[in-house]
Amino acid sequence: MTKADQPTDQVVLITGASSGIGRATAIHLATAGYRVFGTSRHPADAPPGIEMIQLEVTCNDSVAACLAEVYSQTAGRLDVLVNNVGTGILAATEECSIEQVQKLFDINLFGAIRMTNAVLPSMRDQHGGRVLFLSSAGGVVSVPYAGYYCATKHALEAYVESLRLEVEEFGIQAALIAPGTVSTDAGDKAIKPDRPLDAYSSKRASSAEQFVQAIRDGMPPEHVADAILHAIRDERIMPRYPVGMQSWGISLMKALLPQRILESGIRRTTISSP
């Protein structure tokens, strides 16, 4: 059920709003009447109706400064947090150092946790708020050469499952937004392994090429922005919002297929012969 008369004075904070899904969502929500704050590591010119703030989600001080800026302009109010920041590594799992994997988790998982922990006190005080998290189809099924990205999304989904139940008594609702491939520059910006090995180089290269092309050919980010708007407006938020047929299909296959059959399909579609 969707709220018929959505207030237009709600305050939304979107991390990673300078491009891709974050930018599309910021524009979509601003057009729908929300007061939108976006963040970027290096804020530049913002689209009309969006206020950009500097933020590095891996830094506690930066998170605190970002929220202090928002609260100073809204009398301490924040209605919706959209945890959108994320990146990936295209590599075999053996090719990444522990330090590189920790950095990825710090961005994709701990960054979202930092932001969420920082906004929950004010949301409890106002007895209301929504916290949305960008997951993906990779939060349900892991694929070769994207194992650590998928691991961060699996962990994020487990975290949100617990969070939802813990905060609902305070009038706070949380949900996952899980799109399939989305047409952004995320594939081109994916991190490369810091200790590449010849044993994996051929299949890593072909798999990376497939992933990057699939992202370039993915759905428009505006489709995800529309799902986020629905999650904000739904009277009773759903736990998870798959976006696109790929995400729905993967979730269904994970639920219904034996693991060996599922792996066989993943093997055929994601690992090209050298």
Cα gap 21→28, rounded to integer Å: 10
Q: Say which of 34, 145, 149, 241 is annotated catalytic.
A: 149
Instruction: Spell out the residues 6+ positions from residue 272 whose beta carbon is closer than 8 angstroms to its own.
Output: 203, 206, 207, 210
> 80-83 and 129-134 as β-strands: parallel, antiparallel, unpaired?
parallel
Cα 24 to Cα 259: distance, rounded to the nearest angstrom:
36
Nearest to 13 by CA among 59, 61, 73: 73
User: Tell me, what amino acid is at 159?
Assistant: Y
CA–CA gap between residue 202 and residue 127 (Å, rounded): 54
Structure tokens that stand for 53 in this block: 């703030």
E strand spans, the chain: 11-14, 35-40, 50-54, 80-83, 129-134, 172-179, 240-243
Measure the CA–CA gap between 243 and 151, rounded to whole angstroms. 20
Q: Is 71 a catalytic residue?
A: no
Cite the active site residues: 149
